Amino acid sequence: MSTIDKNLLKSKFRGSLLGSLLGDCLGSPFEGDVITPGEKLVIQKYFDKLETPDLKGPKRCYTDDTAMMKEVAKTLIDKPEIDYKHMAKLFVKEYFSEPHRGYGQNVVEVFNKLRKTKFEDIYKPAKEQFNGSGSFGNGGAMRIAPVALYFHDNYDAMINVAKQSTEITHTNSLGVHGAVLQCIAVHQALSHDPKTAITPKDFCDELTKKIKVVESENDDGLGLHDQNPYEDKLNFVNYFLGIKCHEELDEEVAQNLGNSIAAYDSVPTAIYSFMRAVQNDIPTVNTDNLFRRTIQYAITLGGDTDTIACMAGAMAGAYLGEEAIDKNMAKQCEGYEMIVDLADKLYAAAVK
């Protein structure tokens, strides 16, 4: 990774954070929808229109995905030593300044407790969620891209920071490992030369090897429950990638990989969307632009569309760089300039 050209790396930082933003802003109007063939046409027209130069009208708003992602980035920019209390404070401050960004129902309890206890133990409120089992929502994964970028040349530190920053709000192993898997996927995408095609099977096999190591830390040796859920899901991703893409397959993918608010049912789906888009044409998504194809396809899988598109967009942007993202489309998104500025500051903090 250290041999990567600096201008390209800077473009990839911008690409990944913008990918997150665009996935979130453009996916959120469809959150919770079951996408019919008719709606896929609507989505195609919606994306075509977004490429129009100087399109007038209100901007597409970002949601909790971007609101929290930008606070993760700010934490990394603000201090050379990662300060998790500072991160927790930024999350809480952001939530209470704009609570109507569509946050997960239960994570709000964590913010309230953190504030009430004056951040005395920043990990305690999250541990208490769901009668002590912790949240398995995708809230950790949706905001993790800045960690993958910042630690582009330090894999072990990246894994550690991905875990600790997620545990401020999510302590269930499915929530934490989902965030780690998303982080590894962005990190891997970042290391690929955008001029060279990614081989989806190789990409997935590499991810599987890495997540196996992470999941093995949970192994109690008793064999009582599925110890490698993400490894198993990635095998499913590979299986679906081996089938020729057709419209009916989307429903099967949504059912088997999932498209819900749970990390387990959305992070693998985001990886699949990115892999499917770089692999070949998708019949229901009419564009040659790989970045657009990734987020448009992720949205057509329905369910938690803002978050799945946000996570897939972070991977596609990290691979392709800023140049792959249509400027007209990007400018339609609230916070476009702010995210470019944040990506540049993150790059300056990460690359000395």
**Does 279 sit near ligand F2R (CB under 6 A)?**
no
Q: Please give the Cα distance from 321 to 333 (Å, whole number).
A: 18
Q: Please give the Cα distance from 256 to 259 (Å, whole number).
A: 9
Per-residue binding letters, 59-98, with ligand F2R (x by CB under 6 A): ----xxx---------------------------------
Q: Interacting stretch for ligand F2R, rule CB under 6 A, among 129-137, 154-162, 223-231, 283-291?
A: 129-137
Q: Which of residues 321-340 bind ligand F2R (CB under 6 A)?
A: none
**Does 65 sit near Mg ion (CB under 5 A)?**
yes
CA 12 to chain centre: 15
Query: By C-beta, is 289 or 294 nearer to ligand F2R?
Result: 294
C-alpha torsion 94→99→104→108, nearest 10: 80
Q: Is 64 annotated as a binding residue?
A: yes
Torsional sign, CA 53, 333, 27, 309: positive
- Give the number of residues in contact with ligand F2R, rule: CB under 6 A: 23
Query: By C-beta, is 82 or 183 nearer to Mg ion?
Result: 183
Q: Is 341 annotated as a binding residue?
A: no
Two tokens, residue 46: 């919606």
Query: By C-beta, is 65 or 250 nearer to ligand F2R?
Result: 65
CB of 206 to ligand F2R, least distance (A): 26
Q: Which of residues 281-340 bind Mg ion (CB under 5 A)?
A: 304, 306-307
- Give the closest residue to 325 by CA, choosing from 16, 7, 6: 16
Q: Which residues contact 257 (CB under 8 A, 6 or more apart)?
A: 233, 236, 237, 240, 265, 268, 269, 272
Q: Please give the Cα distance from 149 to 135 (Å, whole number).
A: 25
Beta bridge mates, 333 = 60
Query: By C-beta, is 33 or 83 nearer to Mg ion?
Result: 33
Q: Which residues bind Mg ion (CB under 5 A)?
A: 63-65, 102, 304, 306-307
Q: Which positions touch ligand F2R (CB under 6 A)?
A: 31, 63-65, 102-107, 130, 133, 135-139, 142, 172, 261, 304, 306-307
